[in-house]
Structure 1
Amino acid sequence: MRHVAVMAGTGAIGMMAVFAVDLLNFYYISRLRDPALTAAIGFAGAIGYVQIAVSIGMTIGLGAVTGRLIGARQARRARRLASAFLVVMFGTALVLGMTTALLADWLLGLLGATGEARAQAAHFLHIVAPALPLVCMGMAQSALLRSVGDARRAMQVTLVGAIASAILDPIMIFVLHWALTGAAISTLLSRSAVIVAGFVSLRGHHMLERPRRRAIRPATRRIGKVALPAIATNLATPIGTLFTTHFMSRFGLNAISGQATIDRIVPVAFALVFALTGSVGPIMSQNLGAGLPHRVRETLGAALKLTALCVLTTWAVLAVFHNTVIQLFGIHGVGADIVRLFCCWLVASYFFIGLLFVANTAFNNLGHPLYSTGFNWGRATFGTIPFVWIGAHYGPIGILYGQSLGVVIIGTMAVLTAFRVIRRL
């Protein structure tokens, strides 16, 4: 429990810092009191989550393989494969980012974005999307630090980005009056700061070397066996979000603003739950590599207890301060109803999302990555589409209820399967 708590706790602070950048951007833009701008952030964020999902998937593969090699006392091989795979990660992120920027307007049209909100969202993506390699490299550096057990520096690397954003956002948006353009430039600069901090922190661990051309193929083949299913797994959540955003757009800019507020609050409020995915994985990999299956089982149990504690605490805080949240972000009309329902009641459903995430971590690190792919896509399809489609007949509130019900079913099935996998080790 102590190992899980330390790794997840420091990872949560780091992840909270990463997503706090988006939350700060959204908060400052909301202070301009322009529904088109806040909706634009919501539409751009829905597409941006797809990019982030690919980056997270590659990072999971990198962390799982290097963690297992380190657990098996093969540090030199871990360094060689990690350095080579960073080249693959950079190239993949660059292609995805440039493609997103080129197709931004068309993709936003599919989501239901129109008018000024669509134009502003496309402008934001044209600036931010091509810089996806910065996000990918920052995540990779943090994963390598966790794989060698340096949770403190992994946390510090991501904190650098949040601090930079906290300083730059108000300057870019309010002092220079650059509005959404300022938010985009601030995002690029904060991500660049993370990269610099990451390289400095990794120097003492000798986890990076000059990439060897002959190592790229074996690194891609070995890490890709975990990374590709992990990418497919992680893509399911943002695809489900895109589907939900499309339906929510039918109810106007206020509804999109309310949904965007939830989407920005959740990663910060549940940073511990999300951090378990990256933090618990190396612990499971190391113990599997060391031949200690009973500790893998203990790790899963500790992660579930931390998930329950995190959700209960967050639920209590959001329920008490839901009116403050609505006032801070200037949400009105149906958007305020959406945020109020989430903070007071539906936030409890994130316990089952936590069950799904922890189970997926077990699958990815214990040799069953296709299980996590199946459950995540089950959530994005069977657990989202029919429930949201039916819920949409009752308005945006019905959409939220539909989402929550689907997650309860899929999350419960996933964690029961994870325990069965561990029993077979």
Structure 2
Amino acid sequence: MPTPSTPRFVTGPLFRHVAVMSTTSAIGLVAVFVVDLINLFYISRLGEQSIAAAVGFAGVVGFFHTSLCIGLTIGITAVVARTVGAGRVLDAQRLAMSSLFWMLLLALLIGSGTAPFLHPLLRALGATGETERLAARYLAVTVHALPLLGIGMASSALLRSVGDARGAMAVTLGAALVTAVLDPILIFGLHMGLDGAAATAVVSRSLMAYVGLRGVLRHRMLGRLDRASLWPDAKLLAVVAGPAVLTNLATPVGAAFVTHAIAQFGASAVAGQAIIDRVTPVAFGTIYALSGAVGPILAQNLGAGQFDRVREGLRASLWFMLIAVGSAWLLLALGQHLLVQAFSAEGDAAQLIRMFCSWLAASFLFAGALFVANAAFNNLGRPLWSTGFNWARATLGTIPFAWWGAQYGPVGVLAGAAIGSAIFGSLAMLVAFRLVGRMGVK
């Protein structure tokens, strides 16, 4: 049985490590987003635009929560994997336990702390009337289950830190399967509608936490909770996790502005954006997973002092990203009509989906470049660079471009945001290559 003392990535072909970790991590991460996609699919079959739009607005709030958890897991992976690579078993076990503690506490505070402010948040996004009421009703249930999601994702990060890609994948894959089974039963069979979708989300997150903790215990990764070490460990994790959280929160900030800009065009446009927001993490799951999946590879080789392999790992990550995005774009372009039919999209919603699948999906080539750069910055001692580039893209690269594009309708909003993504994704990748090029040079 593998133990925390086994660094797997300091030997062997790096492209294979990147492909295996990114693919398996993507399957696990995509399973988190598949839950939302399945929910929206069944909700859309009810044939009510207000309900589909409500799920869209609720998804933006949920995106903030998920981004928080992902940011924390990036920090957990970087710190624990670096410790594993250096062969410090006891330190890795202590850090793993502290990581779970802080994830649980912060997810509880952020999740339940959002509950009193749901209506003001939704109105700020542009939700009104029945759409606002339904979105708040859905979130009133799901926000309190954020600690379960956090524990599941933190456990998956710990499994990736020791190279157990399959174990990390299993944490969220089971949750997606449960959702696929429960959603039609609760939404249609028991006629619970949106309430059924919320209940399914709670059950799936509970399963994530259970499977994740079992996997971590199987690897003997957890020591006793050392109260005296909690604050020092928090500071150590915060060096990477703090900037990573800020980095990941930039994306939902940009998404919130895009949703607000599209809301002026009506419920159909918001419903179309909601469908795109849930299809993209599934279609481009390997890209969303890159920062967390590539992190342990770079971190272990950095801990072992193998700078040439760090540089090679970055190049391998970029090539893998190009292949993954190109394949996903092709599939979306070919399957766009099926998506429109599956989600009963009409009017602006159908137009948005078709335009995204045909052309705008190409912007993920640059989003992927930014995610690869994030992995380098977060794991090679420059986490604030990742924060800076992501916030620049979410603000300077989104707000003025989306505002300009809004003059040409909802499609223009998405096109404007894509242009900004291309600019800042390219800049981040250039800086990342300069960073690794200087490593080991005295």
Q: Same fold (TM over 0.5)?
A: yes
For residues 8-19 of structure 1, the aligned pairs below 5 Å read 8-19=22-33
Q: Does 1:42 align with 2:56?
A: yes
Match of 1:136 among 150, 155, 163: 150
Q: Is the 8 A contact 1:102 1:126 kept in 2?
A: no
The normalised TM-score by structure 2 is: 0.95
Of residues 308-317 and 259-268 in structure 1, the stretch that sits farther from structure 2 once superposed is 308-317
Q: Is the 8 A contact 2:253 2:394 kept in 1?
A: yes
SS in 2 for 1:383: coil
Letter in 2 for 1:203: L
Letter in 1 for 2:196: G
Partner of residue 7, structure 2: none
In 1, the alpha carbon distance for the partners of 2:99 and 2:82 equals 16
Q: Deviation of residue 204 (structure 1)?
A: 2.2
In 1, the alpha carbon distance for the partners of 2:401 and 2:244 equals 25
In 2, the alpha carbon distance for the partners of 1:111 and 1:63 equals 33
Percent of residue pairs bearing the same amino acid type? 51
The normalised TM-score by structure 1 is: 0.99
Q: Deviation of residue 85 (structure 1)?
A: 2.6
In 2, the alpha carbon distance for the partners of 1:60 and 1:312 equals 25
Partner of residue 179, structure 1: 193
Partner of residue 406, structure 2: 392
Q: Is the 8 A contact 2:244 2:386 kept in 1?
A: yes
Partner of residue 159, structure 2: 145
For residues 319-330 of structure 1, the aligned pairs below 5 Å read 319-330=333-344
Q: Does 1:106 align with 2:120?
A: yes
Partner of residue 65, structure 1: 79
In 2, the alpha carbon distance for the partners of 1:101 and 1:370 equals 30
Q: 1:98-123 CA deviation, whole Å, 9 max, x = no partner? A: 12111001100001100111000000
Letter in 2 for 1:39: A
Flag structure 1 segments of 5+ consecutive residues without an equivalent. Answer: none
Q: 1:254-282 CA deviation, whole Å, 9 max, x = no partner? A: 00000000000000000111111111001
Partner of residue 88, structure 1: 102
Q: 1:54-93 CA deviation, whole Å, 9 max, x = no partner? A: 1111111111000000000002101102202321111111
Q: Is the 8 A contact 1:55 1:139 kept in 2?
A: yes
Q: Is the 8 A contact 1:146 1:154 kept in 2?
A: yes
Of residues 11-20 and 403-412 in structure 1, the stretch that sits farther from structure 2 once superposed is 11-20
In 2, the alpha carbon distance for the partners of 1:231 and 1:199 equals 22
Partner of residue 227, structure 2: 213
Match of 1:405 among 419, 426, 435: 419
Q: Is the 8 A contact 2:99 2:154 kept in 1?
A: no
Match of 2:169 among 145, 151, 155: 155
SS in 1 for 2:221: coil
For residues 300-319 of structure 1, the aligned pairs below 5 Å read 300-319=314-333
- Show structure 1 runs of 4+ deviating over 6 A: none
Partner of residue 6, structure 2: none
Q: 1:19-38 CA deviation, whole Å, 9 max, x = no partner? A: 11110000000000000110
In 2, the alpha carbon distance for the partners of 1:235 and 1:53 equals 6
Q: Deviation of residue 210 (structure 1)?
A: 3.0
Partner of residue 169, structure 1: 183
SS in 1 for 2:345: coil
Q: Deviation of residue 393 (structure 1)?
A: 1.2
Q: Does 1:380 align with 2:394?
A: yes
In 2, the alpha carbon distance for the partners of 1:227 and 1:12 equals 20
Letter in 1 for 2:427: M
In 2, the alpha carbon distance for the partners of 1:209 and 1:33 equals 51
Partner of residue 11, structure 2: none
In 1, the alpha carbon distance for the partners of 2:317 and 2:121 equals 37
Q: Does 1:55 align with 2:57?
A: no
Q: Does 1:292 align with 2:306?
A: yes
Q: 1:341-377 CA deviation, whole Å, 9 max, x = no partner? A: 0001111110100000110111000000010000000
Of residues 392-401 and 28-37 in structure 1, the stretch that sits farther from structure 2 once superposed is 392-401
In 2, the alpha carbon distance for the partners of 1:30 and 1:18 equals 19
In 1, the alpha carbon distance for the partners of 2:319 and 2:45 equals 38
In 1, the alpha carbon distance for the partners of 2:337 and 2:303 equals 49
Partner of residue 3, structure 1: 17
In 1, the alpha carbon distance for the partners of 2:425 and 2:348 equals 28
SS in 2 for 1:73: coil
Letter in 2 for 1:16: V
Q: Deviation of residue 14 (structure 1)?
A: 1.1
Matched pairs, number = 425
In 2, the alpha carbon distance for the partners of 1:44 and 1:269 equals 21
Letter in 2 for 1:407: S
Q: Deviation of residue 205 (structure 1)?
A: 1.1
Partner of residue 27, structure 1: 41
Partner of residue 202, structure 1: 216
SS in 1 for 2:264: helix
Flag structure 2 segments of 5+ consecutive residues without an equivalent. Answer: 1-14
In 1, the alpha carbon distance for the partners of 2:266 and 2:128 equals 10
Q: Is the 8 A contact 1:82 1:219 kept in 2?
A: no
Partner of residue 351, structure 1: 365
Q: Does 1:226 align with 2:240?
A: yes
Q: Deviation of residue 142 (structure 1)?
A: 0.3
Partner of residue 250, structure 2: 236
Q: 1:160-182 CA deviation, whole Å, 9 max, x = no partner? A: 11111111111110101111110
Q: Does 1:421 align with 2:431?
A: no
Q: Is the 8 A contact 2:265 2:409 kept in 1?
A: yes
Q: Does 1:189 align with 2:208?
A: no
Q: Is the 8 A contact 2:21 2:165 kept in 1?
A: yes
